[in-house]
Amino acid sequence: MANDLKRTLMNAPNAVVGWVIGRLGRSPGGAELLDVRGRTSGVVRTVPVNPLELDGRRYLVAPRGETQWVKNLRVVSEGVLRVGQRRHEFEVARELPDDEKAPILRAYLDRWYWQVSRQFGVPKDATLDQLSAIAQNHPVFEIRERTRA
């Protein structure tokens, strides 16, 4: 019973943010809803994420590590980012190897440190070496607009 309560309390902020993004069409700090099909169930799962735009490219960073959305995205390689009625279908261009993640993590923390600092466990001004040391714990996907054949 205690674990159920803990899980409910941990998911409550995501539910509130999801409602604001999905129903009100507001994007707190640039957050969007990620819809990705479940890798085994086929059911679409929705979670708030903070997409990052850097040097003309778009990325999804997983502050909590190997989450279900990360595992699903690895298998299905596509999803939808949305705010209110605005939808952007995307495909995964690639998952970045650890040795390429530090500059992306730097930009991500510059933008959202206030929200994700606990998940990263590094100071706001972490060096690229410090970020390289934790890169293996945070999957990063480069995404691009989905093209239709």
pTM (2 d.p.): 0.83
Write out pLDDT tens, residues 91-107: 999 999 999 999 999 99
pLDDT of 14: 58
Average pLDDT over residues 20-44: 78
pLDDT at position 19, please?
46
In this prediction, residue 31 carries a pLDDT of 86
Identify whether the C-beta of residue 21 lies closer than 8 Å to the C-beta of residue 48.
yes
3-class SS of residue 59: strand
Span 111-149, pLDDT tens digits:
999 889 999 999 999 999 999 999 999 999 999 998 766
Over residues 30-44, mean pLDDT? 93
What's the CATH number of domain 2-145, 3.40.980.10, 2.30.110.10, 2.130.10.10, 2.60.40.1660?
2.30.110.10
Query: Which are the contacts of 137, defined by CB distance < 8 A and separation ≥ 6?
Result: 65
Q: Are 28 and 21 in contact (CB under 8 A)?
A: yes
